[in-house]
Amino acid sequence: MQELTHYINGAHVKGTSGRFADVMNPATGEVQAKCPLASKEELEQAVAVAAAAQPAWAATNPQRRARVLMKLVSLLNRDMDKLAEALSREHGKTLPDAAGDVQRGLEVVEYCIGAPQLLKGEYTDSAGPGIDMYSMRQALGVTAGITPFNFPAMIPMWMFAPAIACGNAFILKPSERDPSVPLMLAELAEEAGLPKGILQVVNGDKEAVDAILYNDTIQSVGFVGSTPIAEYIYGTGCAQGKRVQCFGGAKNHMIIMPDADMAQAADALIGAGYGAAGERCMAISVAVPVGDETADKLIKELVPRIENLKVGPYTSGNDVDYGPVVTAAAKANIERLVQTGIDQGAELVVDGRDFKLQGYEDGYFIGPHLFDRATKDMDIYKHEIFGPVLTCVRAQSYEEAIGLAMDHEYGNGTAIFTRDGDAARDFANRINVGMVGINVPIPVPLAYHTFGGWKKSVFGDLNQHGPDSFKFYTRTKTVTARWPSGIKEGGEFSIPVME
């Protein structure tokens, strides 16, 4: 049985708390490793190391810091296959999906290579007589991130890349369900030239989270996960005077207009709804066809596609569409919500409840499900299922369809499929959701824009990556300078006389 470690001060360090979490193989249901759960004292040790290392890193000019990130990009590309395999082994994603996880994080590292430009301040010459004013962006100090199981490469890089580019030290508390890739990322960062102590990984559970929130040295906290925990971390962290950004749950709607290409819309829904077994905060979990005729056409297109999905372990090859969910508890919760949908009257058009994979009966595999004629008062509509379950809610008009998305408590992502430019423009302008796709099912912005939802999907004022990340991980200092005039005239050699 492999015993994993923390990564502190440039070295793998065994846990000393005596507490461990099981790291499962989702495909087989077997324990494949033990992950140490840090005590408050272990977290504080990492913070002390970070606090000692950070001033010298902040004093390193931004161009030299950027060169470390440039080298890290090269190493990530070198080890892409190794990272993807480790990710798939613990999470269950297919290998192409795991490589995409790494790639989307790598792109944020690439963006952060532009730190010298992004950290430039402002300057005003002659703001007053002999007075100049200028602003500086300066590092916060020691920062921290608490990241989820579903993107164990991408989301850590979304946080630590801008943090260290800005001159901060960063404490990463990854999910204890799949911690190997974060440890590998810390190793690669130091191979790229990052000083010891600037990026450290402390594995743990709520005890480690609370140690982060109540540590006076840590200046900022980032979080991605469920909305209840996001609310807890945001409230607690803000009360401790920290800068906090938290990203929570989602229930993403895709509106299908009568003029949409139904085959294209169905293909988009298959990937967006069932990719990664639905364990994405940007997954489309609600399809909203406008009109019964549209709905009937859509269902007709969806059913054969869903029934032909290939479900299996990542070791079965790159033609697997999705793998298992991450834990037995996650599987049980999805199955519970599916049964709730049946009990509350939704029509289960594709029933994946009896899905069994020969040789992997103890794995956490779930067959694909499709509900039709669901209503907004049903639990399968109100709650985030986080599984391979697509719910169709029929709307009789465009206004009813857009109202569904606008009235839902979550506002992470949404999409509309249409050929009507006017409808698309109206949708993009009116919808109260943070990320919008027009004929794009999963509108995750590229690294040089920002990622973030609205409503109960986000807590905090700034988004992830893009320009917002450099604002989040720095403080602005404004300097007003005045220099007395006349000094430049030099010395006087005549005997002074009264004037």
Query: Residue 496 has what DSSP assignment?
Result: P
CA angle 347, 226, 187 (to 5 degrees): 125
Assess contact for 435 and 453: CB atoms under 8 A.
Answer: yes
Secondary structure (3-state) at 350:
strand
The residue annotated as part of the active site, out of 166, 246, 281, 392, is 281
| 349 torsion bin: left (phi>0), alpha (psi -120 to 50), beta (else) | alpha
Q: Where do we find the tokens 């494949």? A: 32
Q: 179: closest CA among 20, 318, 411?
A: 20
Catalytic residue at 246? no
Residue 251 DSSP SS3: coil
Q: How many whole angstroms separate alpha carbon 312 and alpha carbon 318? A: 10
Residue 442: strand, helix, or coil: coil
Q: Catalytic amino acids?
A: 281
